[in-house]
Amino acid sequence: MADRHQWWTRAAAAGAVAALLLSWATATALGDDSSSGGARPQAAPTASAAPAADATGLPPFGAFTDSGAQGVANLAGLQRWLGGTPVRVGHTYLPGDTWQDIEGDDDLLTPWADWTKAEPGRMFVLNVPMQQDNEAHLSDGEVAQLIRQGADGEDDAHFTRLAQRLVRLGLQNAVVVLGWEMNGTTYSHRCGPDPDGWKIYWNRIVAAMRAVPGQHFRFDFAPNRGQDAIAWTQCYPGDSSVDVIGMDSYDQPAGESFYQQVTEPYGLQEQVDFAAEHKKAISYPEWGLFRNGDDPDYMSLMLTWIITHHPLYQTLTDYCPHGVWTCDQNPESSKVYRALLYAQQTAAAFAAPPARTPSPAPTDGTCTPMRLTAQMRKEYASGEVCVHLTPKQRPGQSDAQPATPTPQTEQPSPDEPSPQSAPQTPEEPTVPAPEGTAAPQDGSSAEGDASAGESSGAATGEGPEETDTAQAPASPTS
């Protein structure tokens, strides 16, 4: 399998053990305070609590906390909470109510443009709907008709105007997450009613935006993890119009292990292998907690997966119930996230992703080890904890062994509209620099980030499916 990181074990429970080890180490580093970063100050983790960075640093990361100016202002606080680890990725969503929304709005985009240009190596990620009335719960027949109109070129002008606006504002290098979670059922820009027409429509949008002088956009194809309504591979529009293969991956459905999230058909491993086959970078535009509550094991394993697979970028969804900083519902996961990313260096956001070329799977007894802290090595003399992952077969695939079928029970998809109540900006903790590390690296632009947000309000966009009690910013659903 291409660029496949084999985590090896001799017991089915070893994945959970590895997660618990990481969770234990990070919880110990942070002390007994059970609050999240957004609630009250915590003791700073020691430098050894985070894994050693690769030569190029951790993959560029950010978090979605809110749209517009408030989302920009929050990034400086997140960076302080993480001991100065550079937050290099800004992420927001265009609303999908009208075509005018999809053409962009200066009040929404200007604060992000100012933040992106304020420091070299920053990246701006923008989710762009492919249809107006994107959360109108249209029938498949209505969606199929909209897809045909788009495939015929009726909507090209809207995306040309968006591209022109982005270039004018200095966001010509934006990563465009176009028609995200297209394999689901919620959005009007879903693929299922007419996959062939949808691919033609995607290619027309990309062609229209790339035709604008001065643009250097990268287009991110980002389905939900797993089967959902349609296999996301059936929606893939082709290598010429895709630069990044992303995946939105939340800790759901309830009771599903991280091992299953990796090995299920169209899961995390298939994303990595598919991207390698097509010579594309990978990304994680949306991820976080969900159906399994405060789950530090998931947080440890997902962060380890991300760090070892070198995505172009990753952005946590950081409102409740998914997040760990502005959301105070997940204190144990918050400790893990903070400890693993505290006082680290990150790669420049525009560094070329590492090549992903096919290679044979390692034989038993070899693995890519999870990075363990010095304290953990004292407890475990080998210095390694590995988990061996074997992908499930896809439904319908013939082999001597019967394939594990994709569950047919209704599974919540992280693509329903989120509630519109915005979270409060978290109280800023005073965090001393860990012993033996450099002081926090907010940079002189941190105050500018906050002040830049005074001029515009948050916009409504789209992001993860929520429970009735979720508190989300006035923006995405996932």
Q: Is 436 exposed, middle or buried (0-12, 13-18, 19+ CB in 10 A)?
A: exposed
Q: Active-site residue 416, yes or no?
A: no
Longest dimension (CA), the chain: 64
Which among 135, 181, 264, 465 is annotated as catalytic? 181
**CB contact set of 55 (below 8 Å; sequence gap of 6+):** none
Give yes or no for a cis peptide into 321 (omega within 30° of 0): yes
Q: Which residues pair with 463 in a beta bridge?
A: 477
Distance CA 166, CA 164 (A): 6
DSSP for 76-125, please give it: HHHHHHTTT----EEEEE---SSHHHHT--HHHHHHHHHHHHTSTT-EEE
Distance CA 446, CA 87 (A): 11
Q: Active-site residue 135, yes or no?
A: no
Which among 286, 462, 465, 466 is annotated as catalytic? 286
CA distances from 323 to 60, 62, 141, 192, 312 (A): 18, 12, 36, 30, 21
Cβ neighbours of 274 (radius 10 Å): 18
CB 331 within 8 A of CB 299: no
CB 300 within 8 A of CB 372: no
Distance CA 478, CA 246 (A): 13
CB 263 within 8 A of CB 223: no
Active centre residues (catalytic): 181, 286
